Structure 1
Amino acid sequence: MNISNLKAFIETVQASSISKAADNLHLTQPAVSMQLQNLETSLGHQLLNRSNRGVQLTEYGKVFFSYAQSFLTLWDNLQQDLKAVAASEYPSLQVGTCPAIGQYALPCALFLFKQIYPQIRVSVQSLSSQEVISELRNRTLHTGFLEGIPHAPDLESHLVLRSELILVASSSHPKTAVDLADLPGLPLVLTPPDCDIRRSLERSLARYQMDSASLKPFLELDGLESVKSAVISGHGLSFLPYIAIKKELFSGDLQRVFINGATFEITFSMVWRKNESLSEDNQQLINFIRNDSGKSFC
């Protein structure tokens, strides 16, 4: 049975007029008349008596009207239940994050967010900062977290976290401090050049008028955990964000090697699309992170 025809019939009966029903349905009167005729043809019975004074139900129409109302209520309930199933299967928020903040700081904040808003489903993807920007523009993400502060006219951003970028070595390493001039001679284990942490390191070196090309990595590994494992095993030194190595520094698996007269930093921002009406769930997440000022990060 055609649902549109059914709605036209119910609206006509309630309005006692085809023209009024057409106005309420934002249709033309001939269109509503055609829907009523199609409904009567499909049932094989006349449902309405039409006159200049309006419409009246026939005996067949009276029987059908009660069923039609129940059927339409069931149809509306079905649509709502199907939407509820879809909402339960698909997260209401898609979040993309670069690994450093996503693995070591953001989980605690999202845990607290879920305690306040348990009905909001959140799915988190680990991406590079450039991929976060790309997926936001492709509209596959609602919100992103990335290294640095993006200078993009189509995106809004908010600085959420600053972390020291620390030179670390294994617990057995003999030195606890070096000079900037010593860095090119160290056996460094670094992430690849296109990695967020590597780019932050290069910017930090530039602030001290040091060319990052002077560093000759002993080993390049993709992934913070791989780098940490190599350094803990004594295979070199590395620059890593403090948020990623707090546990290892506390346990003594890693030790900090100070750089005389220099400190390096890595920053992280939350980003979302600019000049766009945000969903209520996305606005709740953005407000939570902004108002929290980083206190809930791990």
Structure 2
Amino acid sequence: MNLVQLKMLDAIVRTQSLSKAANALHKSQPALTLAIKKLEAELGFELLDRNQYRLSLTEKGKLFHREAAQLLSAQSYLTQLANELALGNEANFKICYEQLCHAPQYNDIICDAFRQYQSTEFSVSSGKRFASLEQVNTAQADLGIGPWFDLFHATGDLESMPIGKLDIGIVCANNLVPKRVKYKQLQDYPCLAMFESEMSFDSERLSYSKGSAIMKIDDIATLKSFLISGAGWAMISLAHCQSELDSGLLQRVEVLDREHTFSAQIRVFRQYSVHHGPVARAIWQGFKRASEQFIND
């Protein structure tokens, strides 16, 4: 038994798929299958129940994987700690923004750390909706900033802090859609929306549009430009288009028979269990001050 085999088992458990686990580990599916069967032979019991549509752990496998996951976490912590000790600070620090939640005051916190730790390479990314949650949970990002709902705690071992509020409403080009419509009438007009993530709870069912023509876009700036061009209506952060609403380029749409405005907390979040180096600690402390100010306001 070795760490490579344990990592393979953990990848299978997380993805519930041999093919997805093989892709994540950059190995062939037969190699993965052989390695797990060899591990089971060494242990003397089966780890995986192969009789279901999706791979799942046997009862003994659940106990084994729970202890294996702790060992892998400890190994990951030790590796990160060694890297930090060797380099002085983190070699790189990755941040993922939810595009709807970008705000200048969050940049200020990150800029302070960027100026303080100039030997660290900072990477800032965004993408489809819930990208920040997805990237933090898969360790592609060290820090996420995005809208927050209580069910997100169930997606991973996360700690979070509230730092702001997100208000979402229906917006379109001036006079494209009547300012007050019924939900069924709204579906007669084309809709603009962000691409869905690969999170298990995310799907087209979360869309406000049911049956209208839809254009999917992967960044908020492009979505807003198509809104201004009159391509359709969209559920969008009101803060992102306030100037266009004030100038009359865009207008709010009120749906008479459905809820049409939504609010959520914006939170900064990260994995709870991993080791956090000096850069991570500095940024987290900056957001902690922002969180305290947001709560007091």
The TM-score, its normalising length taken from structure 2, stands at: 0.54
- Structure 1 unmatched runs, 5+: 1-82, 206-211
Partner of 1:290: helix, strand, or coil? helix
Partners of 1:129 and 1:146 within 8 A in 2? no
Per-residue Cα deviation, 1:181-215 (whole angstroms, up to 9, x for no partner): 4332232222334499xx59955x7xxxxxx5634
| Aligned twin of 2:212 | 216
Q: Matched residues in 2 for 1:116 and 1:155: separation?
A: 22
Are residues 1:289 and 2:278 paired?
Answer: no
| Aligned twin of 1:241 | 237
Distance apart, 1:167 and its partner CA: 0.8
| Aligned twin of 1:269 | 267
Are residues 1:108 and 2:105 paired?
Answer: yes
Q: Matched residues in 2 for 1:192 and 1:131: separation?
A: 10
Taking only aligned residues, the RMSD between alpha carbons, in angstroms, comes to: 3.8
Per-residue Cα deviation, 1:26-57 (whole angstroms, up to 9, x for no partner): xxxxxxxxxxxxxxxxxxxxxxxxxxxxxxxx
Partner of 1:189: helix, strand, or coil? strand
Per-residue Cα deviation, 1:218-274 (whole angstroms, up to 9, x for no partner): 433332222222221122211111132123223332111223363223543322111
Q: Which amino acid aligns with 1:136?
A: V
Q: Matched residues in 1 for 2:125 and 2:115: separation?
A: 20
**1:295–1:233 CA distance, 2 compared to 1 (3 A):** farther
**1:179–1:276 CA distance, 2 compared to 1 (3 A):** same
Distance apart, 1:141 and its partner CA: 2.7
Q: Which amino acid aligns with 1:237?
A: W
Q: Matched residues in 1 for 2:159 and 2:129: separation?
A: 15
Partner of 2:230: helix, strand, or coil? coil
Identical pairs, percent: 18
Are residues 1:232 and 2:228 paired?
Answer: yes
Distance apart, 1:108 and its partner CA: 3.4
Q: 1:253 aligns with which of 241, 249, 254?
A: 249
Partners of 2:190 and 2:233 within 8 A in 1? yes
Distance apart, 1:168 and its partner CA: 0.9
Q: Which runs of structure 2 are paired with 1:1-298 in the superposition (5 Å)?
A: 90-91=91-92, 93-101=93-101, 104-105=102-103, 107-115=104-112, 118-120=115-117, 122-128=122-128, 131-149=131-149, 150-151=152-153, 152-173=155-176, 175-194=178-197, 203=206, 212=208, 214-260=210-256, 262=259, 263-293=261-291
**1:164–1:215 CA distance, 2 compared to 1 (3 A):** farther
**1:100–1:195 CA distance, 2 compared to 1 (3 A):** farther
- Structure 2 unmatched runs, 5+: 1-83
Partners of 1:128 and 1:195 within 8 A in 2? no
Q: Matched residues in 2 for 1:95 and 1:169: separation?
A: 31
Q: Matched residues in 2 for 1:246 and 1:190: separation?
A: 18
Indicate the structure (1 or 2) with the bigger Cα radius of gyration. Answer: 1
Distance apart, 1:118 and its partner CA: 2.9
**1:180–1:293 CA distance, 2 compared to 1 (3 A):** farther
The TM-score, its normalising length taken from structure 1, stands at: 0.54
Q: Which amino acid aligns with 2:106?
A: A
